[in-house]
Structure 1
Amino acid sequence: MTSQDKPPVLPSGDLPPLAPPPEVPRGFMARVRNYFLTGLIVAGPVAITAYLTWWFVTWVDGIVRPFIPTDYRPETYLPWGIPGSGLVVAFLALTILGFFTHNLIGRTLVDLGERLLGRMPVVRAIYRGLKQVFETLFSGNGSSFRKVGLVEFPSPGMWSIVLISQTPGGDVAKKLPGQQEYISVFLPCAPNPTTGFFFYVLKASVIEIDMSAEDAATLIMSAGVVQPGGDPDKKVVALADMASAARAARDEAAAKPAPKVAAPTN
C-alpha cells in the first residue's frame, strides 16, 4: 500500500461525531400491548369507581324501597325504575331525623331510647360501642385516624405507617408499665388497609409525619409503588432521617437510670 492509498488521518479534536444508532422498529404486538396497558390504566379506576358507586346505590335502594309505599315509588308511574331514589329518600329521612333530634322533644325521645337500650345486657354493649365509633368517625372535631405516624415495627430498624388514635383511658392506662405517656395506633396491612394491628405504644416512639390518612391508605394499598406527592427520593430520605433521630433519642432515654422510688415507711 502506497502513501497515496492510505486514508487521511484526522486530528483528535476534529473527529466527526458518532451517528446515533438506528431506532429498532417496534413490532405490532408490542404496540398492541402498550395500547392495551394504557387503556387499562385509564379505564380501570373509572370502571371500579363506577361499579362501587352503583353497588352502594343499589344496596341502599334495596334497604329503603320496602319502607316506601307502592303508590310513592317511581316505577309505579314510569315504565322503568329510577336508581338512587332510595338513596334520596334515605338522605332526606336522616336529615329530618337530625333536625328533630336537635329539638327538645327529639332529644327526650333519644334519651328515652338510649335508657331502654342500656337495660338490655347484650344490646347495651353493642350499641355503646357502635355509638362511640360513629361519634368519633363522623364528628367534625375528632382527631382519631386523622394523623399519620411512623412506628418501629415489626423489628428494630423496620418502620411502618400507622394511624394515630386516642390516648388510653381507664384501666388500660393504669395497667400499662412505666410512667411515660402511651397512645393507641392502628397499623394497616397491605394491600387491604381495613385489616391490621391495633396496639398501644409509647407516644415518644411515634414519629408524626406530614401526610393525610388518604395518602397513607394509597401508599399502603399500592405497597409503596405510589408515593403520594412530592419527590419520592426526598421523602424516603427525610423519613429515614426522622426514624434514625427517633431511634437515637429512644436509646438515649433507655440508657438513663430509672428514678428510685422511696420505700413506704411503716
Structure 2
Amino acid sequence: MSSASWKRDFASGLVILVPLLVTAYIIVWIYSALAAVPLPVQDQTVELLGEVYNVSAPLRVALTLVIFVLVVFSLGYLMRTAFGDFIEDGIDRVMNQLPGLRVVYNASKMAVETVVSGADELQEPVKIETWQGMRMTAFKTGQTTEDGRDVLFLPTAPNITTGYVVEVDPDSYEETDERVEEALTRVLSAGFGEAENTSIPVDVATDDADGE
C-alpha cells in the first residue's frame, strides 16, 4: 500500500468519524444544559432488572423541551399579529441602541432567519461575473426592479448570513443546473466541499499507479 493510499484512507475515516463525534458532543452538551435547568421536578427512580435508575434528569429535559416549544409557538402566533410587529420593532430599536450587543443581536437574528427560511427563499443559483474573468455564485431572489433588472443575493463564504444584494440585467448572469443545496454547500465550505465530488486528484492517482 502506497503512502498516498493510506493517507487517503485515513482522511476518509476522519471525514466520517469527526462529524459524528462533534454531533454527539453537541447533543451531550445540550442535554446536560437542559438537565441543569432549575425546574420543580422531584427525583424519580425506576427499578429495571434489579437496578435502580434516577430518571429525574430525562424528565427535566423533556419538560424543558415542551415549555420551549410552547413558548416558540406562542411567540410565533403573536408575531403574526399587528401587536407582534409593534413589539418586534420596539425590541429591535432597543437592541440597536446598545453598542456591541446590537452586533450580536442582529447577527444571531439574521443567522436564525437564514437557517429557518433562507434556503427556502433562495431560488436557483446562478453565476455572475463580478470582475473580468472571475465568476461568483449568486442566488435569485425572485424580485425585480422597476427598470427590469433581477435582484440577486451574492453571499459571502463561509458565512452566508452576510453578502450583497445586486441588481443586474437578465443577460448579465449565467444560468446553471445546480440545486440550491449544492451551491450552498460550496459557499459554506469556502469552496472545499462539493456535494458530489468524486474526482481523484491527478497526483494521488499517479502515486497509486506507481505504488501498485
TM-score by length of 2: 0.56
1:218 aligns with: 185
Q: Structure 1 residues 38 and 152 mapped into 2: Cα distance closer, same or farther (>3 Å)?
A: same
1:112 CA displacement: 5.2
- Pick the structure with more strand per residue: 2
Q: Structure 1 residues 48 and 203 mapped into 2: Cα distance closer, same or farther (>3 Å)?
A: farther
1:123 pairs with 92, 95, 102, which one? Answer: 95
2:174 aligns with: 207
- Correspondences of 1:1-266 after superposition (within 5 Å): 30-31=1-2, 34-41=5-12, 43-69=13-39, 71=41, 78=53, 86=61, 91-97=65-71, 107=78, 115-120=86-91, 121-123=93-95, 134=112, 137-139=115-117, 143-153=120-130, 155-165=131-141, 167=143, 179-189=147-157, 192=158, 194=160, 197-204=163-170, 205-220=172-187, 221=189, 223=191, 226=194, 228=196
1:132 CA displacement: 7.8
Runs of 5+ consecutive residues of structure 2 not aligned to the other structure? 46-51, 200-212
Runs of 5+ consecutive residues of structure 1 not aligned to the other structure? 1-29, 232-266
Query: CA RMSD of the aligned region, Å?
Result: 4.8
**In the aligned structure 2, how far is the partner of 1:226 from the partner of 1:213?**
12
Q: Secondary structure at the match of 2:143?
A: coil
Query: Which of 1 and 2 has greater Rg?
Result: 1
Select between 45-54 and 66-75 the one with higher mean Cα deviation.
66-75
Check the 8 A contact 2:110/2:161 in 1, yes or no. no
**In the aligned structure 1, how far is the partner of 2:22 from the partner of 2:28?**
10
Aligned-residue sequence identity (percent) comes to 12
Q: Deviations over 1:192-223 (max 9, x none)?
A: 35476423131512333221222123344373
Q: Structure 1 residues 164 and 99 mapped into 2: Cα distance closer, same or farther (>3 Å)?
A: same
Q: Deviations over 1:223-258 (max 9, x none)?
A: 377473799xxxxxxxxxxxxxxxxxxxxxxxxxxx
**In the aligned structure 1, how far is the partner of 2:193 from the partner of 2:114?**
31
Q: Matched residue pairs, number?
A: 183
Check the 8 A contact 2:41/2:56 in 1, yes or no. no
Structure 1 letter corresponding to 2:95: V
Q: Deviations over 1:59-78 (max 9, x none)?
A: 43354334343745789x84
Q: Structure 1 residues 208 and 134 mapped into 2: Cα distance closer, same or farther (>3 Å)?
A: farther
Structure 1 letter corresponding to 2:164: F
**In the aligned structure 2, how far is the partner of 1:195 from the partner of 1:139?**
12
Check the 8 A contact 1:147/1:163 in 2, yes or no. yes
1:92 CA displacement: 3.2
